[in-house]
């Protein structure tokens, strides 16, 4: 689970895009308002090989992990804070498409921030207690399965995200963000400031018109307006309206013992009841890891490679036959085959 919607506006002096960083006037303002050393480290050094801001992708990400429920092992985080150096509406409507946010809700809440520099902190739920399901719709293999993610059905998941929001807000209040970047959490009291930033030199009459148009838009999430902004009740409502899915799907065909009716693969990653089929990805995780699963998936794949080499006698210095497609075959599951459905046929 991922929670979108927590976005901060930044001071007008902060270069937030490539064009800003290479704009002499913008860089001069930033240098004067922050400090020369920071400017040199982030801009001048960028022209040196393998150094500086442009040695990593635009939209640099930062991550932090925390145990916000204060349950169990304090070293086992339940929330990940994912920080992006871009405002949620900086690229306009594109963000709602890329992130899968309901377009109407997105426009209602964030359209006044279109084109404005900012930053975003997204709390991720590490180990959700809400369990979904993927079941067959029929015996027809071409029928799509019935997928029920069942998000936020466990109250601990909602509370973990609420606590994650409060932690993100505290991070956004630190001097590094407030004093250096001029960061301010986007909420209803940004209305006039946002319009002045966007409109700039235009007439006061036009500004009033835009104020009238946007007045109903720049406020606490409309469906949560009955709650005081920033209260636990407001954030619970916010979670239920803005939480969604993201990357890193896992656990749809879990590994487990034969006694577990919900397990799909055995300890060797072989699908029970299907001959010649293994699953080697995050699907086999019985419980998702507390963070980005790439490293864990690589290790699953490495282990699968070892298992297959061992089975085919292809391990370095190992006993048994050397690998040959003519000496091994996978047959249909029969009464004489193993529980995994794998058989070796001698020729």
Instruction: List the catalytic residues.
Output: 248
Rg of the chain over Cα atoms, rounded to whole angstroms, equals: 26
Closest CA to 109 of 188, 210, 227: 188
- For residue 302, give the 3-state DSSP assignment: helix
| Best CA proximity match to 149, nearest among 265, 250, 274, 10 | 250
The answer to whether 29 touches 13, Cβ cutoff 8 Å, is yes
Separation of alpha carbons 66 and 158, rounded Å:
16
β-strand pairing of 61-66 with 146-148: unpaired
CB 77 within 8 A of CB 126: yes
Q: Positive or negative, the Cα torsion across 305, 307, 312, 314?
A: positive
Helical (H) or strand (E) element with 120: strand 118-125
Q: Which residues contact 227 (CB under 8 A, 6 or more apart)?
A: 220, 233, 234, 237
86 three-state secondary structure: coil
């Amino acid at each position: 689970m991922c929670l979108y919607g927590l976005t901060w506006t930044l001071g007008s002096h902060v270069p937030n895009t490539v064009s800003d960083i290479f704009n002499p006037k913008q860089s001069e303002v930033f240098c004067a308002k922050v400090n020369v050393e920071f400017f040199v480290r982030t801009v001048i050094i960028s022209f040196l090989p393998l150094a500086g801001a442009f040695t990593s992708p635009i939209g640099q990400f930062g991550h932090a992990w925390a145990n916000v429920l204060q349950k169990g092992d304090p070293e086992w985080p339940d929330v990940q804070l994912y920080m992006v150096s871009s405002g949620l509406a900086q690229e306009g409507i594109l963000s709602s498409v890329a992130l899968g946010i309901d377009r109407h809700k997105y426009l209602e809440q964030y359209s006044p921030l279109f084109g404005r520099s900012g930053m975003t902190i997204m709390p991720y739920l590490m180990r959700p207690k809400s369990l979904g399901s993927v079941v067959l719709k029929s015996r027809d293999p071409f029928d799509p399965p019935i997928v029920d993610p069942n998000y936020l059905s466990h109250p601990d998941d909602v509370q973990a995200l609420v606590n994650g929001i409060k932690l993100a807000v505290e991070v956004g209040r630190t001097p590094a963000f407030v004093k250096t970047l001029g960061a301010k959490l986007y909420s209803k009291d940004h209305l006039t400031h946002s319009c002045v930033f966007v409109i700039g030199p235009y007439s006061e009459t036009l500004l009033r018109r835009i104020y009238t148009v946007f007045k109903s838009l720049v406020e606490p999430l409309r469906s949560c307006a009955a709650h005081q902004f920033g209260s636990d009740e407001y954030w619970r409502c916010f979670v239920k309206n803005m939480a969604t899915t993201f990357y890193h799907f896992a656990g749809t065909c879990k590994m487990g013992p034969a006694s577990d009716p919900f397990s799909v693969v055995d300890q060797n990653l072989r699908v029970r009841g299907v001959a010649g089929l293994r699953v080697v990805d995050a699907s086999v995780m019985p419980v998702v890891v507390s963070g980005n699963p790439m490293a864990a998936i690589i290790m699953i794949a490495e282990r699968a490679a070892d298992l297959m080499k061992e089975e085919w006698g292809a391990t370095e210095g190992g006993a048994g036959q050397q690998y040959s497609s003519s000496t091994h075959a996978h047959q249909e599951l029969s009464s004489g085959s193993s529980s995994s459905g794998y058989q070796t046929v001698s020729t």
